[in-house]
Amino acid sequence: MSYQRYCLVCNSSKCGHYSKAIADNIKHYLRENNIKDIKVVMTECFGLCKQGPIVKIMPDNIVYSGVKPMDTKEIVEKHLINGEVVSRLVHENKKSKQLKIVLRNCGFIDPENIDDYIEKDGYFALAKALKMSRMDVINEIKLSGLRGRGGGGFPTGLKWEYAYKQNSDQKYVVCNADEGDPGAFMDRSVLEGDPHSVIEGMLICGYAIGSNKGLVYTRAEYPLAVKRLSKAIKDAREYGFLGNNIMGSGFNFDIEIKYGAGAFVCGEETALIRSMEGERGEPTSKPPYPAESGYWDKPTNVNNVETFANVPVIINKGANWFNKIGTEKSKGTKVFALAGKINNVGLIEVPMGITLREIIFDIGGGIKDGKRFKAVQTGGPSGGCLTEKDLDTPIDYDTLLAKGSMMGSGGMIVMDEDDCMVAVAKFYLEFTVDESCGKCTPCRVGNKRLYELLEKVTSGKATFSDLDKIKNLSNVIKDTALCGLGQTAPNPVLSTITNFWDEYVAHVNEKSCPSGQCKELIRYIIDHNKCVGCTACVRVCPVYAISGKVREPHTIDQDKCIKCGACYNTCKFDAIYKK
Amino acid sequence: MKKINSYDELIKHKKEIEKNKRSELNKIIIKISLATCGIAAGGSHIKDYIIKRLEEENIKEYIIKDVGCMGYCYLEPTIEITLPGYQPVVYGNVDEHKIDEIIEKYLINHEIVDGIIPINYETI
Ligand SMILES: Cc1cc2nc3c(=O)[nH]c(=O)nc-3n(C[C@H](O)[C@H](O)[C@H](O)COP(=O)(O)O)c2cc1C
Ligand code: SF4
C-alpha cells in the first residue's frame, strides 16, 4: 500500500493525553469518507509542547497546534478531502526553538571519517584563517562576541589577544575537556560526535596567538571521546592539517591528549595546568593568568571544548553573522544537557536569550509524570536554582548571574514538587566537599562545616541561629576561598535559602520536610480506617517496629522505626502514609 | 592519503568527496547514534541486528554510518534513515521489533511507521 499523505500525530508527553483520541477520530473520519491513501502516524515530540497537541500533515508541511479531538472532523473534511488549510489551527511560527551551531555535525556525520567533516566545509575555516593576518583572526573572534563556554564567560577574543601579545619562544593552546559537573555531558558529546571541529578551533587559535602546540585535557572516564579524538588527530596529521607547514602556510601545529584523573577541581584552569605538568591538581592564585604564565610557565591559552567548536563557524560565516544570534552581551548559542525530572532528557542547543520556559516546557516536554515544576539548577554545583518566577527571563551569562546562578558549562537539572530544596543544596555541597583539593582553609574546613549545618537542618536539629550561621558562613567562604570551586560552592545553599526560605523554616520550626524527602523527618503512619490487618507490613519490617493483631488495625512504633519505607511499599490497601 | 598542501587542494578534495558521494544517492543511508549514550542504550546491538536483517531481506544497496549524539537521549537507540530521493526520517526507541517493522514497511514499501521523531531544530 502506498500512501499519498501522512497525518502525523504527536504522541509524546503533554500531547499524549489526547493523541489516541485524535488519531482514532481522524482514522474514523477517513474510514467514513472511504479514504485509504492517507495514513495516521504517531510521532515523538515536536518540541512545541506548550502549544500541543500537534498534528502535522505531510507532504503539505502544515502544522496544526492546540488540536482537540473535536477538531479532527474539520481537519479531515476541509484539509484532507478538500485541500483547504484549516487556518484557525495553523501553527504559524514554524521557527524551531533549537539552533545547532556547535552541534552542526553531531549526529549527522561519521566522527571517525575526516572526509565527512571536510564535506561539511571542515578545515575551510583553517584555510581561510591561514590567509588572514593573526590579528585579523583575533579581531574577528572579538567582533563575534564569543564568550567562553566553560563557565566563566570570559570574552574569547580578548583572551587570545593577551596570549598573542606575550613574547615567548613557546606558547600553548589547551582545550579544557575535563567536564566534571554532575549531570553534564555536552563536551563529551561534541568530542564523540564531531572531534574535528575542536581540532580545527584549536588550530585557528594556535595560529592566532602564535603557538605550535596544543593539548587536550580530558578524563580517562571518557574512553570513546578519547578514541574518536585520537583517530581524528591521526587523520588530520595524515592530511597535513596538523604537523609542519600546514597547507603550505609555514604554520606548524600539533596536538597531544593529556589524561586527567577525574577530579572536579582539575577543570579549573590553573589546577588543570598543574595536573598536566604531573603535579597535584591544585589551583594556584591568579594573577599570573595562564595567558602570561601557564604550562611550564609559558603563555597558555585555555578554552573549553564548546568554545573551540564555535570558532570554525565564526571564521567561515563571519563575526557579523554570529553576533546577530543571541542577546546584547551573550552571542551565539549554548549547548545544554537537560536532565532531572523532565520528559525529554537530552542534549539541546539554543540561542542565547531563550527563556527557561521554552527550554523546559517546549523542548524539554515539561515535567515528568505531570508533576509541578519547582526549580532548575544551572551551573552545576557552582550554580544556583531558578524558580517559577524566573521562567520567563531570557537566559544569558549576565541574567543568570543576576539571578544568583550562573551559566556554568551547561548542565541543567530540573526539579519537581517532590524534591526537597534543602536536600538538593546538601547534595551539591556534599559533591564539592568531596572534590575540594584541601589547599585552602575556607573551602576545606568551611564547606565541611556548612555541610554539617545543612545536615542539622535536614535532620530537624537546627535552630534559627543555625540558619543565620549558614548564611554568614556561605558569604565568608565565597569571599575567601582560593579558587572557583570553593568560592562558588555555597551558591546552591544561598540560592535555595533565598528562594525557598519557607522550606528551611519548616525543617527548623515544624521539624518536617514539606516534600517528604528528608528521611529523618518523615514518619510512617498507619491509617486505622484503611488498615485491614493483613500483617504484610509486620512481615517486611526489618526492625519489628509494627505490631497489631490479625484483622485488626496495626501501629508503627516510631521509636523503633528506621524509615526504610518497606511497609509503605508493601501495603496493598494504601493504609500507610508519610508525614 | 596524500597531504593537502593548499586552499585549492582542499577545494579540489572536497569536490572529489562530493563526486564520490553521488554514487551514494541511490543507496539507503542508515545512521545510528553511537555516542556513549546510544551505545549504553543498546545501539551497537541494533546496528548488528539491522545488518543481519538487511542481509536476510537481500537488500544490498545500503550504507550504515556510526554517528554521534543526535540529542534524543530519552529516545535512544535512535536511527536516521534516508531512502533514495526522500527526506531523512528519524526513529527513536528502536528495538528489534521496530527494526523489523521499519524494514518491512519503510525500506521495502516506503510507508512511514509510528515512532518518528519530528525535526525540532534549525541548523546552519
Ligand atoms: C572548580 C572549577 C571547575 C571547572 N571545570 C571546568 C570544566 O570542566 N570545563 C571547562 O571548560 N572549564 C571549567 N572551569 C573553568 C576553567 O577554569 C576555565 O575558565 C575555562 O576552561 C576557560 O575556558 P573558556 O574561556 O573557553 O570558558 C572550571 C572552573 C572551576 C573553578
Ligand atoms: S577553594 Fe577548595 S578546591 Fe579551590 S584551592 Fe581552596 S581548597 Fe582547593
Residue with cell 555535525: A105
| CA-angle at A206, arms to A202 and A211, nearest 5° | 140
- Please name the member of A43, A194, A241 whose beta carbon is closest to the beta carbon of B118: A43
Return the CATH architecture of domain A333-416. Answer: Roll (3.10)
Contact, A75 vs B99, CB < 8 A?
Answer: no
> How far is the centre of ligand 2, averaged over its atoms, from the C-alpha of A275 (Å)?
14
Q: List the 39-68 stretch of B: residues with Cβ below 8 A of A.
A: 39, 65-68
Question: A194 and B112 in contact by Cβ < 8 A?
Answer: no
| CA A144 from centre of chain | 24
For residue range A201-244, list pLDDT tens digits in order: 999 999 999 999 999 999 988 999 999 999 999 999 999 999 99
Whole-angstrom distance, CA of residue A566 vs CA of residue A399: 45
The answer to whether residue A14 scores a pLDDT higher than 90 is no
pLDDT band at B85 (very low <50, low <70, confident <90, very high): confident
Cα(A286) to centroid(ligand 2), Å: 13
> Considering chain A, what is the average pLDDT of its residues?
93
Of all ligands present, the nearest one to the C-alpha of A447 is: 2
Q: How far apart are CA A13 and CA A23, in angstroms?
A: 15
Question: Cα separation of B15 and B24, whole Å?
Answer: 15
Q: What percent of chain A has pLDDT over 70?
A: 99
Residue A383: φ, ψ to 5° = -95, -160
User: What's the confidence (pLDDT) of residue B119?
Assistant: 83
- The DSSP symbol for A363 reads I
Overall CATH class of domain A5-89: alpha beta
Residue A38 makes CB contacts below 8 A (sequence gap 6+) with A3, A4, A5, A6, A7, A30, A80
- From the list A6, A48, A345, the residue facing B73 with the nearest CB is A345
Give the list of residues 6+ apart from residue A256 with CB closer than 8 angstroms, or none: A213, A214, A215, A216
Q: What is the CATH number of domain A114-323?
A: 3.40.50.11540
Q: How many of the other CB atoms lie within 10 Å of CB of A476?
A: 14
The rounded distance, in Å, linking the Cα atoms of A362 and A255 is 40
CA distance B67 to chain A (A): 5
**CA dihedral for A390, A396, A400, A403, sign (positive or negative):** negative
**Mutation test residue for ligand 2: of A275, A441, A478, A482, the one with most atoms within 8 Å of CB:** A482
B87: confidence class by pLDDT, cuts 50, 70, 90:
confident
**Cβ contact, residue pair B118, A192, below 8 Å:** no
| d(CA B22, ligand 1 centre) in Å | 43
* pLDDT single digits (tens) A91-117: 877 678 999 999 999 999 999 999 999
Atom of ligand 1 nearest to the CA of A283: 31
Q: Cis link prior to A59 (omega < 30° from 0)?
A: yes
Domain A523-578 has CATH 2.60.120.10: no
Could you tell me the pLDDT band of residue B65, with boundaries at 50, 70 and 90?
A: very high
Ligand 2 pocket check for A485: Cβ under 6 Å: yes
CA torsion sign, B108 to B110 to B111 to B116? positive
User: A165: how many CB neighbours lie within 10 A of its CB?
Assistant: 13
In total, chain A counts a number of residues equal to 579
Q: How far apart are CA A262 and CA A527, in angstroms?
A: 49
Substitution site in A185, A215, A269, A305 for ligand 1 pocket (most atoms within 8 Å of beta carbon): A269
Q: Which of A104, A106, A118 sits opposite B14 (nearest CB)?
A: A118
Contact (Cβ atoms closer than 8 angstroms) between residue A552 and residue A532: no
Nearest alpha carbon to residue A575 among A548, A330, A559, A562: A548
Q: Please, what is the Cα angle at A192 between A186 and A194, to 5 degrees? A: 90
Considering only CB atoms, which chain A residues are within 8 Å of B65?
Answer: 110
Q: What is the pLDDT of residue B1?
A: 64
| Residue entry with cell 535552630 | A463
Pick the more confident residue, A351 or A516: A351
- State which H helix or E strand residue B16 sits in: helix B7-22
Give one word for A416, left, alpha or beta, with left for phi > 0 and alpha for psi -120 to 50.
beta
Edge-to-edge strand list for the sheet holding A172-177: A254-260, A213-219, A172-177, A300-304
Q: Whose CA is nearest to atom 6 of ligand 2?
A: A440
Q: How far is the CA of A561 from the centre of ligand 2 (A)?
A: 40
pLDDT at A1 over 60: no
Mutation target for B interface from A43, A227, A305, A322: give the one with most B CBs within 10 A: A43
pLDDT greater than 60 at residue A321:
yes
From the CA of A438, the nearest ligand is 2
Report CA dihedral (A376, A378, A384, A385) to the nearest 10 degrees.
-10
The shortest C-alpha distance from A486 to chain B (Å) reads 31
Choose the residue to mutate in A268, A429, A482 for probing ligand 1, maximizing ligand atoms within 8 Å of C-beta: A268
Boundaries of every domain in chain A: 5-89, 114-323, 333-416, 421-510, 523-578
Confidence class for position A83, pLDDT limits 50, 70, 90: confident
For B39-91, give the DSSP string. HHTTHHHHHHHHHHHHHHTT--SEEEEEE---S-GGG-S-EEEE-TTS--EEE
Q: Distance (Å, rounded) from C-alpha A335 to C-alpha A86?
A: 36
**Whether the CB of A283 sits within 6 Å of ligand 2:** yes
User: Which domains are delineated in chain B?
Assistant: 26-117 (3.40.30.10)
Nearest to A358 by CA among A169, A96, A544: A96
- Are A146 and A332 in contact, with CB atoms under 8 Å apart? yes
Tell me the CATH architecture of domain A421-510.
Up-down Bundle (1.20)
Distance CA B95, CA B49 (A): 9
Task: Note the pLDDT of residue B35.
Answer: 93
How many other CB atoms are found less than 10 A from the CB of residue A508? 20
Distance between CA atoms of residues B58 and A539, nearest Å: 59
